[in-house]
Structure 1
Amino acid sequence: MDIATLIGLVLGLGAVVGGAALEGLHLNALVQPTAALIVLGGTFGAAFVSFPLPTVLRAFKDVKKLLAGSPKNDDIIADICAFAAKARKNGIIALEQDAKSHKDRFMKKAISLSVDGIDPKEIRELLEIDMSATEEQAKMSAEFFEAAGGYAPTIGIIGAVLGLIHVMSNLSDTSKLGAGIAVAFVATIYGLITANILCLPAATKIKLRIKDEMVRKEMIIAGVVAIQNGENPRFIEERLRSYLGGEGDDKPSAVAEEEAK
């Protein structure tokens, strides 16, 4: 689980609510179902108009990525090094069962192509096409939330205007003035919160997840091509760790751990 997302949401929303409480504002004043309906309905309604339904469904599905932790790169390196040692000892055909059982779709595809004896250059080209297509599809989820974040403040202003219209049409009835003004200002707050604490940060986190995923896929491509070329597992491990910019250099060697088993 990504603790940073939870901390960010608690800090962001807590700062708004806590600040309002410190100012002496009754928190009940921030609970306006009408304003929430206008802002959330209007924001995501506009976003639905902007994107095709499959993209919308994928975007909401990718919300899980905000809370889910990223797969560990060390696990990818360990798997590739184990495959390299096995292929070097028994031949690359020995990886056929591993290709079928591996849980990562991209790894499974890469190993399967390698077992089939396809030229390493062609494997790289095919996998890079797959990687590029996956990246473009994933970016659409981030673009959906970016668009929603752009619409939300404007929809909040629409809610404010509607509230003021309600106020102006009931000037003679002072009992309705407070409710109308509350809806007007709370709708603006909801719009800003939806944009700047929810939608835009979600888009940014999804983009970071995409970058992490692309690095892992590039590591898989480099590792599988190296396996097919018969390179030393220790050298493969060092090459893969170079993709991490020094991250994990202090950790035990995956090859050494595999040899120790």
Structure 2
Amino acid sequence: MWVLLGLLLGVGAIVGANQLEGGSVMQLVNLPAALIVLGGTLGAVVVQTPPSLLRRTLGLLRRSSMPEEGRHEQGLDALIHWCITARRKGLIALEPEAARVEDRFVRNGLQLLADGKPVDAVRTTLEVELVAQEQRDHQAARVLESMGGYAPTMGIIGAVLGLIQVMAQLDEPSRLGSGIATAFVATVYGIGLANLLLLPLAAKLRQMIDAHNLYREMMLEGLLLIAEGQGPKSIQLKLQGYLDVNDATQTTP
């Protein structure tokens, strides 16, 4: 919702400024320019990116559109529940709890606890998975950043192609002005696509990745505290800082 609103504001500002300068909306509508910018940008990113990474990028984009407010609070509540369960019934009782968890990282951690693995082994295993997951996610965000770099270049290519067509019509001076104006529409498309959509989306993905990584760090520390036999109140106090950091991140402009 906010992405769509921001995009509408950005496009509206450009179109409105063009109107104030005496231009018209139709001057900014050019199908060949759009094909060059969109097709060229997609083609370039397909050349450089493995299919699996493209699918991961699309998956992260879908996740970024879903509200995740309260995720950290829910995670802390789940840790306290698992702590109480482990203290009453033993760590083996976490095995059925693991089967009900959707997050693979947390599910693996609970299974390690249920299997009776030492605390150091649990920490090492989960930290490796945490780092690997973060790196894969940031690679996906870099796909959008690379598209944001290609789009303006494709816009320049479109402008050059348009100017070539204009130069081929030098024998008709009356058409030169409109032809040159049309040629530069491709540049507007390329720069606008990069700075109004692709680069902001990449930044949004990085913010989401950082929030997910903070959540996994909290869950990791909580699972280790359960393995060490800490009580619910102790877990609540020690992990409260993660909630505070997440709240501060969400409220920072």
- Normalising by structure 1, we get a TM-score of 0.88
Contact 1:241 1:248 (C-alpha < 8 Å) held by counterparts: no
Contact 2:151 2:190 (C-alpha < 8 Å) held by counterparts: yes
Shift in Å at residue 225 of structure 1? Answer: 0.9
- Distance, in Å, in 2 between the alignment partners of 1:83 and 1:6 is 39
Aligned to 1:57: 55
Aligned to 1:74: 73
Aligned to 2:204: 205
Q: Residue type of the partner of 1:166? A: Q
Aligned to 2:108: 109
Structure 1 residues without counterparts, runs of 5 or longer? 250-261
Distance change (3 Å), C-alpha of 1:158 and 1:247: closer
1:92 aligns with 2:91: yes
Aligned to 1:253: none
1:161 aligns with 2:167: no
Aligned to 1:255: none
Shift in Å at residue 178 of structure 1? Answer: 5.7
Aligned to 1:40: 38
Please give the secondary structure, in 2, of the residue aligned with 1:68: coil
Shift in Å at residue 161 of structure 1? Answer: 0.7
Please give the secondary structure, in 2, of the residue aligned with 1:63: helix
Note the 1:177-196 alignment, pairs <5 A: 177=176, 180-196=179-195
Shift in Å at residue 108 of structure 1? Answer: 1.0
1:228 aligns with 2:222: no
Shift in Å at residue 246 of structure 1? Answer: 5.7
Deviations along 1:195-226, one digit per CA (max 9) or x if unpaired, are: 11111111111111111111111111111111
1:217 aligns with 2:216: yes
- Larger mean CA deviation between 8-17 and 176-185 belongs to 176-185
Please give the secondary structure, in 2, of the residue aligned with 1:35: helix
Shift in Å at residue 232 of structure 1? Answer: 1.0
Aligned to 2:117: 118
- Distance, in Å, in 1 between the alignment partners of 2:178 and 2:13 is 25
1:24 counterpart (22, 27, 34): 22
Shift in Å at residue 148 of structure 1? Answer: 0.9
Contact 2:211 2:246 (C-alpha < 8 Å) held by counterparts: no
Following TM superposition, where does structure 1 have runs of at least 4 consecutive aligned residues deviating by more than 6 angstroms?
Answer: none
- Larger mean CA deviation between 21-30 and 192-201 belongs to 21-30
- Normalising by structure 2, we get a TM-score of 0.90
Superposed CA RMSD: 1.9
Q: Residue type of the partner of 2:27? A: A
Deviations along 1:172-214, one digit per CA (max 9) or x if unpaired, are: 2457546632431110000101111111111111111111111
**Paired-residue identity, %:** 40
Shift in Å at residue 35 of structure 1? Answer: 0.4
- Distance, in Å, in 1 between the alignment partners of 2:160 and 2:245 is 54
- Distance, in Å, in 1 between the alignment partners of 2:170 and 2:66 is 51
Q: Residue type of the partner of 1:119? A: P
- Distance, in Å, in 2 between the alignment partners of 1:248 and 1:155 is 40
Aligned residue-pair number: 247
Q: Residue type of the partner of 2:233? A: R
- Distance, in Å, in 2 between the alignment partners of 1:248 and 1:141 is 25
Contact 2:33 2:185 (C-alpha < 8 Å) held by counterparts: yes
